[in-house]
Amino acid sequence: MKCIAEKSEDKIKEAAKRIFLKKGFDGTTSRDIAREADMNIALTNYYFRSKEKLFIEIFKDLMEMYYQSVVDILNKPIDIKAKISEIIENNYRMMKQEPDLVIFIMNEIHKDPERLLIKTPLYNQIKTTVFSQQLDAGIKNGTLRDIRIENILPLMTSCIEFLFLGKGIHQKIFSMTDEDFEAFAQSHKEHVKSMICHYLILEN
Amino acid sequence: MKCIAEKSEDKIKEAAKRIFLKKGFDGTTSRDIAREADMNIALTNYYFRSKEKLFIEIFKDLMEMYYQSVVDILNKPIDIKAKISEIIENNYRMMKQEPDLVIFIMNEIHKDPERLLIKTPLYNQIKTTVFSQQLDAGIKNGTLRDIRIENILPLMTSCIEFLFLGKGIHQKIFSMTDEDFEAFAQSHKEHVKSMICHYLILEN
DNA sequence: AAACATTTTAAATGGTTGTTTAAACTATTC
DNA sequence: GAATAGTTTAAACAACCATTTAAAATGTTT
């Protein structure tokens, strides 16, 4: 039936995702979405009932996409040092590939937390990861610093994500071109990996 | 003349600052501002010509407020370990007192960098701080890790700021009340101070 | 107190917003 | 192939947007 051509519903959703990510909910109009999807305005509401409903659906998708890759890595059967490196590398890759994602999520939640924060089993997911077990074991036998998983996870992601969140500011203050920033970000990533390992892993 | 009562221009600007910080440029209407300032709608444009002009003026103020306190601390005549602690404490204080500030700045710049990033002498200001000299000297005599100021500054601020940027997310995932989060943030702050010092200051 | 400049007001401007309507078109079913 | 269901369309809806107008109110200067 439909081979190449996407279904209209999907076309609208994909278009809306692009626009919402770039402009946020308030900055996006129904007409923006219709234009991007190359469809009639009425179809947005025909398929999704309202701009709000469409947004919530997309937001949930993006939120899951944001977290799933991390949870997957936390469960890998590799030692904790390699895992830290991989989490940071994954984070770096994601921020380069989808630079709008994190600022979008943070800003929308910030504007109205109640509206978007649906029930999530993420805490249990995290608490039962291989990483969590490795952390507990390491703390018990004295090879790892005594730190809760609630603290160490943000420590690993915040430095990289913050760097890209403030890309515009950093580039302006330090007069960096895009290439300069790329090199700067790489070096920063290595510092972060090294710093986290130094702090978490006790050697002597 | 006017003793208690603020001048209308200032009342509007203060009101607009509150609303812009909370809702962003796109989410704020001229009527919101007029209502918050308890003034006629037309006065916004009478004093500031347009919503855009008013916004730019406020944005510049907030941007300066964001950076000035850091630069001041960087210039204090105290040793580098105390300085790191003070920067992080100051950062923590600011994020608690003005939780909307950083996400607001980042998001507005992210949406349209050209519009907001005015020329700033901040890089020269930073490069000529006492902190910058302390860092150079410490690297030279081997007491500090070889790292550029462009890297170490974001390392100090990103962990704390990111924690508050994602306050809503963190609270939801880890099922924290406001009091829980407060305690969590405090412990996180201590980890960050410790981690940065461990990494930067070479002792042996 | 008359003349002037400044500030504030209610009302209106033209344009855009999200959403709805009802008719037209297309595909499917009997 | 007529009837039915699903999809798409242009047009319209009321509500709201930033901004402007011109008159009213207030303050200041002569």
In a domain, A57, yes or no: no
For residues B181 and B6, give the distance between their C-alpha atoms in angstroms, rounded to a whole number.
37
Whether residue A140 is contained in a domain is answered as: yes
Q: Mark whether B22 and B71 lie in a shared domain.
A: no
Kindly give, in sequence order, each residue whose CB lies less than 8 Å from that of residue B87, ignoring residues fewer than 6 positions away: B70, B73, B74, B156, B157
Same domain assignment for residues A85 and A181: yes
Query: If you measure CA to CA, which chain B residue comes closest to A122?
Result: B173
Strand D–CB A43 distance below 7 A: yes
Tell me which chain A residue has its CA closest to the CA of residue B175.
A123
Q: Are residues B187 and B156 in the same domain?
A: yes
Do B114 and B185 lie in a common domain? yes
Smallest Cβ–Cβ distance between A24 and the set B26, B159, B194 belongs to B26
Long-range interactions of B134-139: CB distance < 8 A, separation 24+: B134/B79, B134/B80, B134/B83, B135/B80, B138/B80
Q: For the segment B12-69, what is each residue's pLDDT rounded down to a tens digit?
A: 999 999 999 999 999 999 999 999 999 999 999 999 999 999 999 999 999 999 999 9
Best residue of A100, A165, A170, A201 to probe chain B, by most B CBs closer than 10 Å: A165
CATH code at position A40: 1.10.10.60
Verify that A13 and A67 share a domain, yes or no. no
Q: Please check whether residue A43 lies inside any domain of the structure.
A: yes
Residues A135 and A196 in one domain: yes
- A56 part of a folded domain: no
How far, in Å, CA of A161 to CA of A165, rounded?
Answer: 6
pLDDT in tens, B106-157: 999 999 988 887 777 889 999 999 999 999 999 999 999 999 999 999 999 9
Same domain, A83 and A169: yes
Cβ contact B8 with chain D strand, < 7 A: no
A163's tokens: 């760097």
User: A42 and A87, same structural domain?
Assistant: no
Q: Going by C-beta distance under 8 Å and a sequence separation of 6 or more, which residues neighbour residue A5?
A: none
A133 in the same domain as A73: yes
Quote the number of domains for chain B: 2
Range(s) of the domain holding residue A34: 1-49
C-alpha angle A17/B173/B106, rounded to 5°? Answer: 50
In a domain, A148, yes or no: yes
Check whether residue A180 and residue A143 sit in a common domain.
Answer: yes
Mean pLDDT estimate for chain A? 93
Instruction: Note the pLDDT of residue B58.
Output: 97
Mean pLDDT value across residues A145-169: 95
Closest residue by C-alpha to C1' distance, nucleotide C16:
A29
The pLDDT tens digits of the residues spanning B90-107 come to: 999 999 999 999 999 999
Task: Using alpha carbons, list the distances in angstroms from residue A47 to A24, A43, A57, A58.
Answer: 21, 6, 12, 13
Q: Are residues B63 and B30 in the same domain?
A: no
Asked whether residue A151 falls in the same domain as residue A102, the answer is yes
